[in-house]
Amino acid sequence: MKLLKLPIIAALRWRIYYWQLRNTPPRGTTLKAVEFLKDTPKNLPVIDLGCGHGTDSLVYLRAGWQVIAVDKNKKGLQILKKRAEKEQLSTNLQLICEDFTTFDIPPCVAVNANFAFPFCKENRWDDFWQRINNGLVSGGVVAGQFFGVEDSWNKKGHRTLHFPEQKIHDLLKNFTIISWKEVKKIGKDDLNQSKFWHVYHVLAQKK
Ligand SMILES: C[S@@+](CC[C@H](N)C(=O)[O-])C[C@H]1O[C@@H](n2cnc3c(N)ncnc32)[C@H](O)[C@@H]1O
């Protein structure tokens, strides 16, 4: 019974997260990616994995990109749909309610994955990363965050995935790093609880 309730609790927790972040600006990695890609032909889509309520998807849409937004939370996708309709941007938006780790990533110019990678299950990571590499064309970019090992969520029984810095460099061996920022700070989580954040914010271009 307890196990059955867990996905519901997770879905509700994400709803709170969307509400709390409803007025926050787009992620820096996304803004950098859009600027970096500004002269790239727009014949391939951007994939926004774990798009949530879509603040970053909207940035790509406004810049003229087609966006495939993937999230397993229906509420987030509904909010994004409404936001895109309000700005008359929904014709270039495809919404996919699916587990992003098993989604077949089509050929794309960018994989935007802000605060999404850490929510991949450890046993799904290698296949997921391979899917990203298969979909992303040469010259395309990956934008997102990896959680570091000093993060206070890096403990037994916690759902998030954490990598040592060297492992992230290994994952990006076929990429050129465009932007790399490591942040270590005490802050709050989505439930307003104090925690230590150890986050690598990365924008990298596939060779
Ligand atoms: C921390 S939020 C990030 C939302 C947004 N990208 C941002 O930067 O604010 C993580 C999002 O990933 C989604 N998510 C987590 N695991 C997922 C999975 N395996 N498949 C699809 N979506 C997932 C959650 O529903 C949530 O919307």
In a domain, 199, yes or no: no
pLDDT at 4 over 60: no
**162 pLDDT higher than 70:** yes
Give the integer Cα–Cα distance in Å for 186 and 36.
31
Beta-bridge partners for 71: 97
Query: Is residue 93 one of the residues assigned to a domain?
Result: yes
Distance CA 120, CA 2 (A): 22
Q: Strand 67-71 vs strand 175-188: parallel, antiparallel, or unpaired?
A: unpaired
pLDDT in tens, 62-103: 999 999 999 999 999 999 999 999 999 999 999 999 999 999
Ligand 1: does its nearest atom lie under 6 Å from the Cβ of 128? no
Average pLDDT for 154-180: 96
Report d(CA 46, CA 128) in Å as an integer: 17
Q: Is residue 196 one of the residues assigned to a domain?
A: no
Tell me, yes or no, whether 195 lies in a domain. Answer: no
Please state the rounded mean pLDDT for residues 174-190. Answer: 96
Q: Which of 10-19, 24-33, 54-63, 162-171 has the lowest mean pLDDT?
A: 10-19
pLDDT surpasses 70 at 2: no
Q: Which atom of ligand 1 is nearest to the CA of 52?
A: 27
How many of the other CB atoms lie within 10 Å of CB of 14? 20
Of 72, 112, 125, the one to substitute when testing ligand 1's pocket (max ligand atoms within 8 A of C-beta) is: 72
Task: Please count the structural domains in the chain.
Answer: 1
Q: How far apart are CA 54 and CA 76, in angstroms?
A: 7
What is the domain range of residue 37? 2-53+60-189
Residues in contact with 77: Cβ distance below 8 Å, sequence separation at least 6, in sequence order: 51, 54, 69, 71, 95, 97
Domain of residue 80, CATH code: 3.40.50.150
Residue 142 lies in a domain: yes
39: in domain: yes
pLDDT at 5: 55
**Predicted local distance difference test score (pLDDT) of residue 1:** 39
Q: Is residue 8 part of a domain?
A: yes
38 inside domain = yes
Rounded mean pLDDT, 133-149: 98
In this prediction, residue 27 carries a pLDDT of 98
